[in-house]
């Protein structure tokens, strides 16, 4: 069957607009729309202790992974965590181990990246990975 260019042009224009709209939110931009992480301020206790934080994810599928990273006031990495569909809930609590002898009191930062996977547009297409960085969370640990 022959298609005229006049009939294909609106469909191509609509598809192009969708691609532009999808690309307008860069994967590197942070967002709270897809979830968040957070931790309360606290006291940096002597020795090594666990400090709790929470997470909430809102992926667009049931196949997802959340990765978290903790950095200290000097921006040195101090811990990480990962959560996945099937073994972890979409809302939960976790903790980082922090030793007072290796950090200084101050503002700590939790960064988080959410990835989820959806089927490709065709049955033979590969899975599509979507990535969003959540807005970083900050908390303070002060001297006793």
50-104 confidence digits (pLDDT tens): 999 999 999 999 999 999 999 999 999 999 999 999 999 999 999 999 999 999 9
> In this predicted structure, what is the pLDDT of residue 36?
98
Output the CA–CA distances (angstroms, integers) from residue 50 to 53, 79, 96, in the order listed. Answer: 10, 11, 5
Q: Which CATH superfamily is domain 28-142 in?
A: Macroglobulin (MG2) domain (2.60.40.1930)
- What span, in angstroms and rounded, lies between the C-alpha atoms of 63 and 118? 8
pLDDT in tens, 5-49: 445 444 443 433 333 333 334 445 667 899 999 999 999 999 999
Pairing between β-strand 77-84 and β-strand 64-71 as defined by DSSP bridges: antiparallel
Map out the domains of the chain as residue ranges. 28-142
In sequence order, what are the beta bridge partners of 131? 115
For residue 77, what are the CA distances in angstroms to 67, 90, 135? 14, 25, 18
The pLDDT value given to residue 29: 61
Token code pair at residue 72: 């200290």
Write down the pTM of the prediction.
0.77
């Amino acid at each position: 069957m022959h298609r005229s260019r006049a009939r294909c042009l609106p469909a191509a224009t609509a598809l192009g607009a969708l691609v532009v709209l999808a690309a307008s939110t860069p994967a590197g931009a942070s967002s709270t729309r897809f979830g968040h992480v957070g931790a309360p301020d606290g006291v940096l206790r002597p020795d090594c202790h666990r400090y709790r934080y929470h997470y909430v994810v809102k992926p667009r599928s049931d196949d997802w992974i959340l990765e978290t990273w903790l950095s200290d006031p000097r921006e040195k990495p101090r811990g990480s965590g990962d959560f996945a569909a099937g073994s972890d809930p979409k809302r939960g609590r976790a903790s980082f181990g922090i030793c007072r002898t290796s950090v200084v009191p101050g503002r700590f930062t939790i960064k988080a990246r959410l990835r989820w996977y959806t089927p490709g547009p065709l049955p033979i297409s590969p899975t599509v990975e979507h990535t969003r960085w959540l807005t970083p969370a900050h908390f303070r640990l002060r001297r006793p």
